[in-house]
Amino acid sequence: MSEPRTLLAIDKVSKNFGRVTAVDGISLDIRENEFFALLGPSGCGKTTLLRMLAGFETPNDGRILLDGRDIARTPPNKRPVNLMFQSYALFPHMSVRANVSYGLEMERLPAKEIRSRVDAILATTELVPFADRKPEQLSGGQKQRVALARALVKRPRLLLLDEPLGALDKKLRGAMQLELKRLQHEVGITFVIVTHDQEESLVMADRMAVLKDGKLLQCDTPHAIYEHPADRFVADFIGVMNFVPGKADTDGVVAANGMRISGKVPATLSPGASAMASVRPERIRLFPSGETANRTTGTVEALAYQGLDLQLHVRTPLSPKPFLVRVTADAADRRPVASGDQVELGWDAADVRIFAE
- Chain residues binding other proteins by CB under 8 A are 54-56, 75-77, 82-83, 85, 87-93, 102-103, 106-107, 134-136, 140, 143-144, 150-151, 154, 167
Measured from the CB atom, the residue of 122 and 337 that comes closer to other proteins is 122
The DSSP code sequence of 87-123 is T----TTS-HHHHHHHHHHHTT--HHHHHHHHHHHHH
Q: What is the closest distance, in whole angstroms, from the C-beta atom of residue 266 to other proteins in the complex? A: 43
Of the two residues 30 and 159, which places its CB atom closer to other proteins in the complex?
159
Stated as kind and residue range, the H or E segment containing 39 is strand 35-39
Q: Yes or no: say if 176 and 189 are a contact pair by the CB < 8 Å rule.
A: no
**C-alpha dihedral (39, 25, 266, 344), degrees to nearest 10:** -20
Measured distance CA(190)–CA(187) in Å, rounded: 9
As beta bridge partners, residue 275 has 246, 356
Q: Strand locations in 230-352, DSSP E?
A: 242-248, 252-255, 260-262, 274-279, 285-286, 294-306, 309-315, 323-328, 342-347
Q: Give the separation between CA 163 and CA 1, rounded to whole angstroms.
A: 31
> Pairing state of beta strands 342-347 and 252-255?
unpaired
Cβ 89 to other proteins shortest distance, Å = 4
Phi, psi of 260 (to 5 degrees): -95, 135
**Shortest reach from residue 160's CB to other proteins, in Å:** 9
Least spacing, CB of residue 87 vs other proteins, in Å: 5
Residue 230 CA to residue 243 CA, distance in Å, equals: 15
In whole angstroms, how close is the CB of 135 to other proteins at the nearest point? Answer: 7
The minimum distance between CB 140 and other proteins, in angstroms, equals 5
CB 106 within 8 A of CB 80: no
Q: Taking the complex as a whole, how short is the minimal distance between the CB of residue 93 and other proteins, in angstroms?
A: 4
Is the four-CA dihedral 47, 32, 114, 130 of positive or negative sign?
A: negative
Q: Which is nearer to other proteins, 105 or 341 (CB)?
A: 105
**What is the nearest approach in angstroms of other proteins to the Cβ of residue 104?**
9
Name the residue nearer to other proteins (CB basis): 194 or 286. Answer: 194
Burial class (CB in 10 A: 0-12, 13-18, 19+), 323: buried
To other proteins, the closest distance from the beta carbon of 165 in angstroms equals: 11
First to last CA, the chain: 40
